[in-house]
């Protein structure tokens, strides 16, 4: 059933034609009647016209009393989903995983993909009536450059210079070529504010909504901004009420009882309960969020490639997927590119759990006293400790001695991550495959958690980023995935699906692979039906 749902979502997103969808679901053994119902459902979904008015009520996990509207400060769902209601980005991350125009109506890369020209829209006004121009965009991007505290700094670190060409055209010069640069601009920090703007208590943007009330960690009230929204087909509800509900059970209760219309982060264990309700829809989307157990390839005993391979064979991916995610995810293959990425290597066979091979490679590694200690904390992600314990027990079956060291959740990211030799962590996934590889596997990257440093890989990555020929890019990126899977230091058992739930009373809640709640665009895309 889960595979069928996956296909249905792909069809809904337009990634799978009707013919393909019908063919592949029939191959899965679905009955003709089931397929017909599903097709009808998708059609109905596509034909729905949004309604204006009403109050959209969202219950979101991932908020804190320390939240702020400051675009440089976002790091969790509530602000990431609130911000697109108030501000716009230059480039939008579409439902199909590709970039599409937002405040920039078009762009082109100069040959070599090192200089980019963006043409900005001329018809966009800020909430205070001022027209949006190149100066505003340049100021906004510069918030994340140089001496910046921004969490988005890494996404545009490659930017060397930003120049204003005309009032509606800018040029961005990069340090090194990057054909995927527009994906970096979809980073959720890259919102556009007026030139020189600093008053985050009274935010001004170009979005469909303005803030009526903001109580960090409690709730956000958004009101439709004065005047017509420049996107004609977005921003349907009159007002939006976001309630911060960090407790999973409370969130579920809120949506079941109708206190809120939609919630994010549905606990996989509760999906069965949700599906019993006739008033709710589960929105499931495979995405790039993945768990990692990172071995640093330059520290003993992990320098030994056979040991790394032994660990990969010892890991029971299916078991981890079932125990931790109730099957709501995709099996990982020790490289960070998700199935939803257009550059996902479809020909690379997923490594199966094989205790015998694990034993074989462990013996081959010939280590007399390997001290394999995984440092882990649930601060990395919920269930990280359980994952470590599962790995430990399956290692035991192959005769690999492995210990789990539970670290304090406080300060995990500052004291353990990037410092230990074998540490659990996670990645939220990146918009483009090259971006992900660049962030965590490039030799000089600050977040290269496995200390992966391979000349051939470096060249492939450079070439892939500079290459605009699709076929060639694909072959480079595919090869990098194979390299990481076979030799890399990261154990990546699973990619987690985004699970959200919405009442049938609202429309426009779509499965997206990038981030939860319509890639964060839920406020301007969802509507109240009745």
Partner 1 sequence: MGKLIAQRLGLAVVTLAAFSVLIFAGTEILPGDLASAILANNATPENLAALRHQLHLDLPAYVRFWNWASGVAFHADFGTSLASGQPVLDEIIPRLKNTMFLALAAAIVSVPLSVVLGLTAAIKQGSVYDRLVNVVTLMTISVPEYFMGYILITIFAMQLGWFSPISNVTPEMPFFERILYTILPMSTLVLVVVAHMMRMTRASVLAIMASPYIEMAILKGIPKWRIVVQHALPNALAPIISVIAINLAYLITGVVLAEVVFVYPGLGQFMVDSVSKRDMPMVQGCGLIFAAAYIMLNMIADVLAIMTNPRLRHPR
Place of tokens 């060397």: 160
- Give CB contacts under 8 A, 24+ apart, made by 245-252: 245/59, 245/60, 245/61, 246/61, 246/62, 246/63, 247/61, 248/61, 251/59, 251/60, 251/61, 252/501
The Cα 205–Cα 225 span in angstroms is 10
Compute the least distance from the CB of residue 155 to partner 1, in Å: 9
Closest CA to 90 of 232, 233, 192, 208: 192
Q: How far is CA 228 from CA 168, 208, 288, 490, in A?
A: 21, 8, 35, 49
* CB 336, CB 427: distance < 8 Å: yes
Interface stretch with partner 1, choices 127-135, 166-174, 211-219, 382-390 (CB under 8 A): 211-219
Q: Is 199 in the site for partner 1 (CB under 8 A)?
A: no
Closest CA to 126 of 193, 71, 80, 221: 193
Quote the longest CA-to-CA distance of the chain.
Answer: 73
* CB 282, CB 274: distance < 8 Å: yes
Q: Is 64 in the site for partner 1 (CB under 8 A)?
A: yes
Q: Sketch the per residue contact string, 409 through 438, with partner 1: x for CB under 8 A, - otherwise.
A: -xx-xxx-x-------xx------------
Q: Is 212 in the site for partner 1 (CB under 8 A)?
A: no
504 three-state secondary structure: coil
Residue 118 or 417 having the CB closest to partner 1: 417
Residue 149 or 352 having the CB closest to partner 1: 149
Q: Is 53 in the site for partner 1 (CB under 8 A)?
A: no
Compute the least distance from the CB of residue 254 to partner 1, in Å: 5
Compute the least distance from the CB of residue 448 to partner 1, in Å: 12
How many C-beta atoms surround the C-beta of residue 298 within 10 A? 12
- Give CB contacts under 8 A, 24+ apart, made by 457-461: 457/483, 457/484, 461/434, 461/437
* Of the candidate residues 52, 66, 106, 382, the single one contacting partner 1 (CB under 8 A): 66
Closest CA to 148 of 136, 133, 159, 163: 159
Interface stretch with partner 1, choices 203-211, 253-261, 312-320, 354-362 (CB under 8 A): 253-261
Interface stretch with partner 1, choices 28-36, 60-68, 277-285, 334-342 (CB under 8 A): 60-68
* CB 326, CB 427: distance < 8 Å: no
Interface stretch with partner 1, choices 90-98, 212-220, 483-491, 516-524 (CB under 8 A): 212-220
Q: Is 273 in the site for partner 1 (CB under 8 A)?
A: no
Interface stretch with partner 1, choices 261-269, 403-411, 468-476, 511-519 (CB under 8 A): 403-411
The Cα 32–Cα 26 span in angstroms is 7
Residue 440 or 528 having the CB closest to partner 1: 440
Q: Is 218 in the site for partner 1 (CB under 8 A)?
A: yes
Compute the least distance from the CB of residue 104 to partner 1, in Å: 24
Q: How many residues bind partner 1 (CB under 8 A)?
A: 47
Interface stretch with partner 1, choices 25-33, 83-91, 241-249, 490-498 (CB under 8 A): 241-249
Compute the least distance from the CB of residue 273 to partner 1, in Å: 11
Q: Is 154 in the site for partner 1 (CB under 8 A)?
A: yes
* CB 509, CB 283: distance < 8 Å: yes
Binding residues (CB under 8 A) for partner 1: these are 59, 64-68, 73, 75, 147-154, 157, 200-201, 215-219, 243-247, 249-250, 253-254, 256-257, 259, 408, 410-411, 413-415, 417, 425-426, 446-447
């Amino acid at each position: 059933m889960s595979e069928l749902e996956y296909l249905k979502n792909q069809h809904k997103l337009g990634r799978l034609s009707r013919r393909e969808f019908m063919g592949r679901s029939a191959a899965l053994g679905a009955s003709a009647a089931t397929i017909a119902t599903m097709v009808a459902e998708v059609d109905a979904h596509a034909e729905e016209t949004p309604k204006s008015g009403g109050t959209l009520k969202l219950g979101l996990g991932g908020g804190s009393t320390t939240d702020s509207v400051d675009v440089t400060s976002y790091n969790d769902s509530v602000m990431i989903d609130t911000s697109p209601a108030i501000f716009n980005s230059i480039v939008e991350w579409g439902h199909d995983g590709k970039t599409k125009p937002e405040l920039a109506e078009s762009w082109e890369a100069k040959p070599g993909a090192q200089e980019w020209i963006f043409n900005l829209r001329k018809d966009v006004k800020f909430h205070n009536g001022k027209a949006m121009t190149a100066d505003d965009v340049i100021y906004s991007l510069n918030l994340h450059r140089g001496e910046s505290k921004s969490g988005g700094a890494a996404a545009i670190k490659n930017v060397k210079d930003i120049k204003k060409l005309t009032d509606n055209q800018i040029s961005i010069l990069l340090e090194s070529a990057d054909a995927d640069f527009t994906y970096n601009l979809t980073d959720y920090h890259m919102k556009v504010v007026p030139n020189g703007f600093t008053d985050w208590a009274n935010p001004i943007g170009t979005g469909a909504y303005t803030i009526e009330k903001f109580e960090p960690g409690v709730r956000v009230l958004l009101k439709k901004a004065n005047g017509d929204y420049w996107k004609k087909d977005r921003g349907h509800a009159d007002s939006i009420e976001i309630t911060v509900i960090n407790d999973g059970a409370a969130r579920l209760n809120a949506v079941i009882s109708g206190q809120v219309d939609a919630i994010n982060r549905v606990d996989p264990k509760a999906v069965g309960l949700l599906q019993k309700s006739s008033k709710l829809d589960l929105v499931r989307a495979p995405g790039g969020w993945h768990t990692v157990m990172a071995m640093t390839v330059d520290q003993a005993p992990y320098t030994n490639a056979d040991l790394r391979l032994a660990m990969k064979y010892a890991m029971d991916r299916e078991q981890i997927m079932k125990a931790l995610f109730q099957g709501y995810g995709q099996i990982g293959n020790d490289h960070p590119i998700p199935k939803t990425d257009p550059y996902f290597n479809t020909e690379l066979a997923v490594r199966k759990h094989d205790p015998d091979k694990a034993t074989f490679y462990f013996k081959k590694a010939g280590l007399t006293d390997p001290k394999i200690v995984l440092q882990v904390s649930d601060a990395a992600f919920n269930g990280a400790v359980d994952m470590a314990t599962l790995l430990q027990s399956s290692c035991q079956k192959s005769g690999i001695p492995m210990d789990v060291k539970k670290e304090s959740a406080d300060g995990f990211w500052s004291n353990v991550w990037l410092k230990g030799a074998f540490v659990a962590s996670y990645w939220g996934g990146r918009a483009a495959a090259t971006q992900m590889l660049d962030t965590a596997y490039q030799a000089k990257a600050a977040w290269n958690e496995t200390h992966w440093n391979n000349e051939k890989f470096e060249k492939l990555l450079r070439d892939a980023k500079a290459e605009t020929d699709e076929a060639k890019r694909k072959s480079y990126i595919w090869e990098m995935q194979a390299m990481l899977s076979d030799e890399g230091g990261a154990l990546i058992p699973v990619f987690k699906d985004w699970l959200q739930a919405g009442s049938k009373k609202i429309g426009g809640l779509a499965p997206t692979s990038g981030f939860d709640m319509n890639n964060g665009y839920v406020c301007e895309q969802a509507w109240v039906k009745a």
